[in-house]
Amino acid sequence: MTASPLDIGFIGLGIMGAPMAGHLARAGHRLFVHSRSPVPPELVQAGATVCANGKEVASRAGIVFVMVPDTPDVAEVLFGEDGVAAAKVDGKTVVDMSSISPIETKVFARKMGELGCAYLDAPVSGGQLGAKNATLSIMVGGDEAVFERVKPLFELLGKNITLVGGVGDGQTAKVANQIIVALTIEAVAEGLLFAARAGADPARVRQALLGGFASSRILEVHGERMIKRTFDPGFRVELHQKDLNLALQGAHALGLSLPNTATAQELFNSCAAHGGKGQDHSSMVRALERLANFEMGGK
């Protein structure tokens, strides 16, 4: 925690942003917020000031956090009419914690830098639970001095906080994270589906695997979701589709082949085509179940 309260802006108060902003407010910082979704009353009760737009947030805060779904959303927040860049931002700092294009991140940072505004990209991993519990992993790109200045605030939001490199490198790390998460979800789904189709109890198989080399956080959390059929997000399929699009577009530009990433994306596409884009990404198992004409059980 910083030695004295700071004037902090927070734009984007969805299932991730709202609890993150709450941690900053409860630490005693003066919070100025704006969101397309309704501002949670508990934030107002904690002392947050609701602003009409990004310009007002940036006018009143020295550090502005952004947590919105996609690259165009960040562009609109920063450079749209009455966006952050419309305020006097010289000497201020923008911290984008959204998961967006590393290439566009560098463009956004350059444009804000021309206005005298420092910029960090700081996407997170850990989902809604990590946001609520302040246990997020935070992957940061940007100048080290700016990172050190903002780090006490990051420590209110997460546990594993890493300066990966320059601007855009945080987003690159997040894309890598999303590749690994998607492929691990697919592996867990295949393993549990195989076990269930062979006649074993998938819940007991999962319990056995948690004590071995196949153990993972995804087997622990998402494996349970698959078995209990609890697919409320969490992290929505459509957001993971967006992240894998970034991975596949980047791979194309780099001349890389990511065959299993492409397969995971096709499984997510199947989920979305069957009306599941708003479900938790653990629902990828449903695409595999449709291919097998077999469901593990539950609803």
Catalytic residue positions, numbered: 174
Strands 136-141, 158-165: pairing is parallel
- What the block records as the tokens of 146 is 């700016």
Q: How far apart are CA 164 and CA 139, in angstroms?
A: 6
Q: How far apart are CA 287 and CA 54, in angstroms?
A: 40
**Nearest Cα to Cα of residue 84 among 107, 122, 115, 48:** 115
169-197 helix and 102-114 helix, angle to the nearest 10 degrees = 150
From the CA atom positions of the chain, what is the Rg in Å?
A: 20
Q: How far apart are CA 12 and CA 182, in angstroms?
A: 25
Strands 124-125, 136-141: pairing is antiparallel
**Nearest Cα to Cα of residue 225 among 188, 263, 264, 198:** 188
